[in-house]
């Protein structure tokens, strides 16, 4: 069925956090929107992108080995806000470790990747209970997917931070010669073999669903097929969510600290804000 063409909201995208991240995301926005039914180029949504390649390494920042990413993410979030974006998406899993500190300083909502992914799994696979996560050490240490999934009753399975498997996964992403970030679209066989091994390990743990919790990992997992495990790519979920919000199929989440400010200005505000904006209707 052909979707309503009129755009209701403009997405702001912080990309460049991994050279492939926003390119993959924009490709999916175009592909998924085409699947919904369009008649011309102008039926694709307007969005605003910042290629924020100078943000400190997210994993090293979360581990305390690099400057905080918060100032850079706030800066670029405000630039998108001033440029006319109505909501923000960040095409990097690990960057969500700075979510609360950044969101509290913005006047537009940052759509939380882990929350929308967990909600999608709950609605699409209600009989599943064990969810595997392959991600950077920063994402795992901050328990970004653990928090969102556990809140919905899922058991989370992931390599321990000290395991050789997790070190291998980090090398698959970051190795300066054959890592996915280094080679880009020219994929080396080494990271493919490492992630194939990681999927085999998750399969042995009884995992029913696996989340590709890093853009670079998702690029590889699309080449691997496992009959017993459902492979979930959060960038796919985020792309569909972005289109739904842009075309008004879902309401943009309310930012609690702004809601309280508005209530206070009307003389009715006495509720405490929650640390994370609501993601209702995000399936």
Specify whether the CB–CB gap between 81 and 106 falls below 8 A. Answer: yes
The catalytically annotated residue of 134, 214, 239, 246 is: 214
- For the chain, the residue count is 283
Q: How many other CB atoms are found less than 10 A from the CB of residue 51?
A: 15
DSSP β-bridge partners for residue 43? none
Which tokens sit at 123?
């609605």
Name the packing angle between helices 113-124 and 234-246 (round to 10°). 100
Question: Pairing mode, if any, of strands 87-90 and 155-157?
Answer: unpaired
SS3 assignment, position 10? coil
Q: Is 92 among the residues known to form the active site?
A: yes
DSSP code of 43? G
Which tokens sit at 216?
């670079």
Range list of H helices, the chain: 21-36, 58-62, 70-83, 99-103, 113-124, 137-141, 144-150, 164-174, 180-183, 189-204, 215-221, 234-246, 256-265
The catalytically annotated residue of 50, 62, 92, 198 is: 92
The position carrying tokens 């569909």 is 240
- With the CA atoms of 226, 231, 233 and 236 taken in that order, what torsion angle do they form, in degrees rounded to the nearest 10? 100
Q: Is 40 among the residues known to form the active site?
A: no
Report the catalytic residues.
92, 214
């Amino acid at each position: 069925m052909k979707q309503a063409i009129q755009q209701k909201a403009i997405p702001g995208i912080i990309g460049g956090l991994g050279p492939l991240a926003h390119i993959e995301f924009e490709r999916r926005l175009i592909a998924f929107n085409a699947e919904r039914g369009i008649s011309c180029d102008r039926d694709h949504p307007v969005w605003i992108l910042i290629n924020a390649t100078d943000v400190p390494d997210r994993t090293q920042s979360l581990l305390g080995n690099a400057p905080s990413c918060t100032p850079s993410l706030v800066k670029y979030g405000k630039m998108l806000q001033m440029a006319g974006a109505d909501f923000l998406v960040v095409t990097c899993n690990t960057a969500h470790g700075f979510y609360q500190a950044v969101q509290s300083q913005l006047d537009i909502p940052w759509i939380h990747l882990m929350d929308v992914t967990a909600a999608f799994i709950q609605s699409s696979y209600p009989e599943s209970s064990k969810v595997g996560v392959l991600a950077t050490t920063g994402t795992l240490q901050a328990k970004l997917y653990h928090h969102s999934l556990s809140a919905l009753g899922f058991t989370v399975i992931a390599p321990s931070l000290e395991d050789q498997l997790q070190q291998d996964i980090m090398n698959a992403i970051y190795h300066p010669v054959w890592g996915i970030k280094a080679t880009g679209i020219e994929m080396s066989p080494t990271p493919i073999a490492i992630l194939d091994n990681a999927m085999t390990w998750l399969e042995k743990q009884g995992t029913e669903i696996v989340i590709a919790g890093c853009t670079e990992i998702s690029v590889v997992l699309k080449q691997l097929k496992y009959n017993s495990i459902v492979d979930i790519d959060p960038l796919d979920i985020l792309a569909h969510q972005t289109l739904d919000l842009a075309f008004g199929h879902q309401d943009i989440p309310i930012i609690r600290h702004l809601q309280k400010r508005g209530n206070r200005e009307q003389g009715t505000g006495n509720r405490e804000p929650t640390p994370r904006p609501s993601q209702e209707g995000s399936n």
